[in-house]
Chains A and B, each alone.
Chain A
Amino acid sequence: MATECERFRDDLALLAVDDPESSPSHALLQHVDRCPSCRAFLRRSRESLARLVLEQAAPPPPGVKTRLMAAIDGERRNSLPPGAGETARRGPSGQELRPPSTAERPAPRSGLRAGWQAAAILLLVVSLVANGHLLLDRRGNGDQDALVAQLEALQAVLFAPDYAAPRVFGLEAVRPGLSGQVAFCRVSDDTFYVMVASQGWTAETSGEEHRLWLQSGDRLIDGGGLTFSGDRGLALFQVSEPLPVEAVRLGPEGGSPLLWARVQDPWPPSGDRW
């Protein structure tokens, strides 16, 4: 009878090479957690493969470094800490950003629901007016709650059962406990947003970056990485025209999606702005 290591060994190799069409199963990840020998194989294999990349080195074009240094200097002046642009799980000094504890959150009383939703929508509208576009406040300044509050607000809007506009579609999930919503918003004639909110999994679930993907004809458009707050994820994707989106999915690059939906004629009509 095959041992557990033997059963997983080919899939483990696909995980090591980061095969774009394979998403590691929960059972495989659990096995790697438990098995020092497979964990060592994975780590060594990744190190070996990284050395192959070194072998491909070529002189980088001049000017890239100057542009990069100028770009990061600009980000530093705008007080955006490294780590803020792609994930919000850590603050400026690397401290973990956690959602408020249950005690800190508003109690789920029905009398407060409408008021809280109104506050959430107001927050988004103020953000739109102030910035010209939706902006997650990732500046921190020691106040991690600002980001968490915005995430909570967006989540509240998208998950509200009676929220109809902008157009909202429920996402199908690969397993119980996961859920998600996607909203298509028309802010102006040249500003459109796809906003996706998920619940039930964290960035660390599979050890991979999870992203929003939009299927438009034969194009697969990368809508950016999910920002996580605890088990809640959020992605915002801005476009300048209503792309003919046919399907939405959330998941690792190239792997099987955890959440997805087919959508038809998703954008609100031109008079229905938000």
Chain B
Amino acid sequence: MRVDGDPPSDEVLLEAVARGDASAFERVYERYAGAVYGHALRQTGDPALAEEALQNTFLSVWRSAADFRRELGSGRVWLFGIARHRTQDLLRRRRRWEIPVEGLPERAAAVEMGPAEVVEGRLLGEAVHRALERLSPTYRDILHLSYLRGLSHREIARLLDLPLGTVKSRIRLGLERLNRIFWEGGGRDGD
């Protein structure tokens, strides 16, 4: 339940952005720029490319906020969908598929967020971390390759030398387990 003084939900902010509210846009940026940039950085391995993805993502958010429909999913899902597409656009153009796994920056310092948002972010981060630890490596790896690195199931099948059907069923089973952990195992619900 939301009480007065709680930060506005992503959905409320995106609806305000759709009406041209620049301060709501700024708030969305402060809330998710770190996640979008970190995701792009891990996908591209290139800080300059990740910065471009970050900028393109939020320009798209500003320009297409009127397309957001809360009945189709949360604001976060919508925004990360844009972020993944913008990052993959850049990767496709630059053909940069080498992805380093070390030397990445530390987690974002949420310097511009309000205290409630900082606490909420930390709790969520911890919940995600715990969830991933409870997922077996088989499913953790396949979801990582599929969703976070943006590889197709065919590419994963080639990479892991697995039949296509196995990859598809592992993606499904991984999602089922992840959902069970988040939604039936005490994970915090989204906005």
Contact = CB atoms under 8 A, between A and B. Distances in A.
A253 B168 contact: no
A47 B125 CA distance: 14
A89 B18 CA distance: 13
A46 B93 contact: no
Interface in B36-90: 36-39, 41-42, 47, 51, 54-55, 58-60, 62-67, 72-74, 76-77, 80-81, 83-85, 88-89
A65 B34 CA distance: 11
Interface stretch (A10-18, A121-129, A148-156, A239-247): A10-18
A19 interface: yes
Interface in A149-190: none
Which of A52, A57, A61, A93 has the largest count of B CB atoms less than 10 A from its CB?
Answer: A57
B77 A17 contact: no
Contact of B178 (A45, A57, A81, A93): A45
Contacts of B144: 52
Given A10-B169, A47-B77, A59-B105, A17 B179 contact: no
B99 to A, nearest CB: 12
B19 A75 contact: no
Interface string A50-78: 11111111111100110111011101100
Contact of B64 (A65, A83, A221): A83
B143 A47 contact: no
A50 B77 contact: yes
Given A47-B182, A68-B59, A94 B41 contact: no
Nearest to B126: A55
A10 B172 contact: yes
A90 B20 CA distance: 13
A21 interface: yes
A22 interface: yes
A86 interface: yes
Interface string B116-144: 00000100110111011000000000011
Interface residues of A, number: 63
B42 to A, nearest CB: 5
B13 interface: no
Contacts of B127: 51
Contact of B66 (A14, A43, A53, A82): A82
Contact of A43 (B19, B58, B73, B124): B73
A56 B148 contact: yes
B109 A59 contact: yes
Contacts of A19: 146, 152-153, 171
B90 to A, nearest CB: 9
Nearest to A220: B92
A200 interface: no
Interface string A245-263: 0000000011000000000
Contact of B175 (A13, A59, A68): A13
B106 A82 contact: no
Given A49-B143, A57-B107, A86-B63, A14 B38 contact: no
Given A41-B179, A50-B76, A51-B187, 16 more contacts: A18-B84, A20-B88, A44-B182, A48-B179, A48-B182, A53-B39, A53-B148, A56-B35, A57-B38, A59-B37, A64-B51, A65-B30, A68-B55, A87-B67, A209-B85, A254-B152
15 contacts: A41-B176, A47-B76, A51-B182, A56-B38, A57-B107, A58-B34, A58-B37, A58-B41, A73-B22, A75-B62, A82-B19, A82-B66, A87-B64, A220-B92, A254-B152
Interface of A: 9-14, 16-22, 41, 43-61, 64-65, 67-69, 71-73, 75-76, 81-87, 89-90, 92-94, 207, 209, 219-222, 253-254
